[in-house]
């Protein structure tokens, strides 16, 4: 054993062949870049290629060129749908933030058992399929549902009220979808903040409101920006919830694309709309990222 450990010159040709590899700056199979391979193997066929196919379809489908884009930009419907989508996404994000921020703050301060229930509720809501949750809202808010009956019992006229199959229904469903992500993003940052910062601010004369605005909120900004980004971007292009809880007369961009591709089989128009959504989403991401850095 000791004999083979001495760095004697290799004798056989096989060993001779192996030596140069060892003396290189690290073998090719040890390169950290290889760690990307599994992710790439998954993402290229299931994400990158379909996206490229979609993008190219928007230019190549008959009659080709920029035809579908010109049609989209000239359409009043598309403009209305896009504005509605942005308005709903904005509303949903704002409401999710208004619910999520205090929720995370309360869960952080709550004693152990209550905190477990609060965080548990958030985690549990992620276990249920979005479709199930959307249909649940349909029966809760829909015709003859408990909410309508309760309103009638209170003497409120519910005939003109459209709680589902309306933008209101979409906002309710999407807020329920968005709040858990908002809470998780904010709670993560909150857990890492130093409680002594607020105490320090208090000793220097800063009251509860001033502390929230000048100490707590700036510290939570990364979490808030992350939560807002996730909720806004997903809401903007969401398909299932608007399809179930919305109305065809007031659709969002996701449904419009769905109907072009699924119902009228107009792939060119559908993929042009999808590409516009992709660019607008990218723009929103860029703006939010800019906001987060500042």
Partner 1 sequence: MTATATHAARLELSDLKKLYGDIAAVEQIDLTVEPGEFVTLLGPSGSGKSTTLGMVAGFETPTSGTIRLGERDITRLVTHKRNLGMVFQGYALFPHMTVFENVAFPMKLRKASKHQTRTAVGEALEAVSLGHLADRKPSQLSGGQQQRVALARAFVHRPPILLMDEPLSALDKALRTQMRDEIRRLHRELGTTVLFVTHDQEEALSLSDRIVVMCDGRISQVGTPTEMYESPQNEFVSGFLGAANFLSGTPEHVAAGTVGGVRLGNGQRVCGRATVDVPSGCTARIVLRPEDGQLGGAPSPDWNEFRVTLTELVYLGERIKATGKLESGEELSFWVSHHQAGQVAIGRQLVLSWPHRRTVLIESPA
**Which region among 107-115, 206-214, 229-237, 279-287 touches partner 1 (by CB under 8 A)?**
206-214
Closest to partner 1 by CB, 17 or 210: 210
String of DSSP letters for 134-151: HHHHHHHHSTTSHHHHHH
What's the min distance (Å) between Cβ of 160 and partner 1?
48
Closest to partner 1 by CB, 17 or 192: 192
Q: Let me know the angle formed at the C-alpha of 13 by 10 and 16, rounded to the nearest 5 degrees.
A: 50
For the chain, report the end-to-end CA distance as a whole number of angstroms.
63
What tokens appear for 170 in the block? 């979409």
Binding of partner 1 at residue 213 (CB under 8 A)?
no
Number of H helices, E strands in the chain: 16, 0
Closest to partner 1 by CB, 84 or 216: 216
What's the min distance (Å) between Cβ of 216 and partner 1?
10
State how far the Cα of 235 lies from the Cα of 252, in Å rounded to an integer. 10
**Which region among 83-91, 214-222, 246-254, 266-274 touches partner 1 (by CB under 8 A)?**
214-222
What's the min distance (Å) between Cβ of 22 and partner 1?
41
Site for partner 1 (CB under 8 A): which residue of 4, 23, 205, 293? 205
Q: How many residues bind partner 1 (CB under 8 A)?
A: 20
State how far the Cα of 279 lies from the Cα of 256, in Å rounded to an integer. 16
């Amino acid at each position: 054993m000791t004999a083979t450990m001495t760095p004697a010159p290799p004798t056989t040709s096989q060993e001779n062949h192996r030596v140069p590899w060892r003396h290189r700056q690290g073998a090719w199979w040890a390169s950290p870049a290889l760690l990307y391979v599994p992710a790439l193997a998954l993402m290229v066929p299931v994400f990158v290629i379909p996206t490229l196919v979609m993008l190219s379809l928007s230019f190549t489908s008959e009659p080709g060129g920029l035809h579908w884009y010109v049609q989209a930009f000239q359409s009043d419907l598309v403009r209305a749908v896009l504005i509605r989508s942005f308005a709903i996404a904005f509303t949903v994000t704002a409401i999710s933030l208004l619910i999520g921020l205090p929720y995370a703050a309360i869960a952080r301060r709550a004693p152990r058992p209550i905190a477990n229930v609060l965080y548990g509720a958030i985690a549990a809501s992620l276990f249920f399929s979005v479709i199930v949750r959307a249909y649940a809202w349909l029966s809760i808010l829909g015709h003859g549902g408990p909410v309508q009956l309760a309103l009638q019992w209170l003497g409120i006229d519910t005939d003109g009220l459209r709680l589902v199959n309306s933008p209101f229904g979409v906002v309710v469903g999407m807020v329920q979808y968005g709040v858990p992500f908002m809470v998780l993003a904010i709670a993560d940052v909150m857990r890492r903040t130093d409680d002594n910062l607020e105490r320090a601010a208090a000793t220097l004369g800063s009251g509860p409101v001033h502390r929230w605005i000048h100490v707590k909120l700036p510290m939570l900004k990364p979490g808030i920006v992350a939560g807002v980004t996730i909720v806004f971007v997903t809401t903007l292009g969401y398909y299932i919830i608007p399809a179930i809880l919305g109305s065809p007369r007031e659709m969002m961009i996701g449904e419009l694309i769905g109907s072009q591709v699924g119902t009228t089989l107009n792939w060119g128009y559908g993929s042009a709309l999808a590409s516009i959504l992709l660019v607008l989403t990218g723009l929103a991401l860029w703006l939010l990222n800019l906001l987060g850095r500042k």
